[in-house]
Amino acid sequence: MIEQPYLLFLGDAPDALAAKVAQGIRDWRPDAAIGQLRLPGCNADMGLPEMGVAEAAAAGAKTLVIGVANRGGVISPAWKTVLMEALDAGLDLAAGLHNLLRDEADLAGRAADLGRNLHDVRLPVGRFPIATGEKRPGKRLLPMGTDCSCGKMYTALAIEREMLARGMKASFRATGQTGILITGSGIPLDAVVADFMAGAVEQLSPAADEDHWDLIEGQGSLYHPSFSGVTMALVHGGQPDAMVLCHEPTREHMRGLPGRPLPSLEALRETAEHVARMVNPQARCIGVSVNTARMGEAEALDYLAATEKRLGLPTVDPFRQGAGRLVEALP
């Protein structure tokens, strides 16, 4: 659990895209961040009050979150200065960088001396059981992608927001580093040891009230050969009652695999329901979430309408239209 509120560190982000973790926090947990810290040359802006670390600590910040990707896999001297200051000012640090905070001797030493936490959210924390496959109370939804990185996290967060706005019981459950930084907790499933993947998902989404929904962040795709095992563990550990098919229509091949076409939504629907019903006979796809960011408004609406007609399922882009129709389709 990463302590909130956050000070968002935007560093020297060359553009807004480099700060997508910070943007995710800003979009989905606006109350979690009380300020932003930018270095000279930073071209990202979350519209938060500018703060130094001392000021942020005085304002109640508990953790400096690195909300920006670093360049070249190194933590620069300019970053290091800020991070050491943050530890000195009483803040924990949290990051999802490839190079770990704990591997930086000066940060690790200072944190140990001062009793601060370094949260490297790329690494799982704790131990996980072998999955039991037993049915547990509560409802679960899992977005299933035709590919990696096609909007599964966004879809789950949008559904959570919509459900909470309607007074329903709902919890987003993060399975990747960005989701963990956004919500402050979760398990980076891709870094869990194979035998314990499904057990980690069972732990992440425990027994709950019968009318409570876990919105579990999806990973990979059953059709993506690099990561399909992770997705399978997510389905069998998550035992979803409902699935939402997620798709990015302009993609020409599966992510990172030139020449490999995406599956059709129909094929994914059939496969997802087949494997999910091995553990939950009630499992079904209840809607489609399309990421139409690369389409114009008219083209997007045409695509959504045509897809809805083809599949016979509510089909929305939650960014353009909200997730209301998906929530209404829940069993």
Q: Which residues bind a second copy (CB under 8 A)?
A: 130-133, 189-195, 197-199, 222-234, 236-237, 254, 256-257, 260, 263, 271, 274-275, 278-279
Shortest reach from residue 277's CB to a second copy, in Å: 11
Q: How far is the C-alpha of 128 from the C-alpha of 237, rounded, in Å?
A: 12
Q: What are phi and psi of 170, to 5 degrees?
A: -155, 145
Shortest reach from residue 247's CB to a second copy, in Å: 17
Structure tokens at 84: 């050491």
Shortest reach from residue 328's CB to a second copy, in Å: 30
Q: Which CB, 4 or 219, lies closer to a second copy?
A: 219
Q: Which CB, 113 or 195, lies closer to a second copy?
A: 195
| Closest to 144 (Cα-Cα) out of 259, 236, 68 | 236
Q: How far is the C-alpha of 232 from the C-alpha of 227, rounded, in Å?
A: 9
Q: Which CB, 53 or 200, lies closer to a second copy?
A: 200
Under DSSP, the state recorded for 115 is T
Considering only the C-alpha atoms of the chain, give the largest distance between any 2 of them, rounded to a whole number of Å: 61
Q: Which CB, 195 or 209, lies closer to a second copy?
A: 195
Asked if 91 and 7 touch (Cβ cutoff 8 Å), the reply is yes
Shortest reach from residue 42's CB to a second copy, in Å: 31
Q: How far is the C-alpha of 3 from the C-alpha of 152, rounded, in Å?
A: 25
Q: Which CB, 14 or 124, lies closer to a second copy?
A: 124
Shortest reach from residue 275's CB to a second copy, in Å: 8
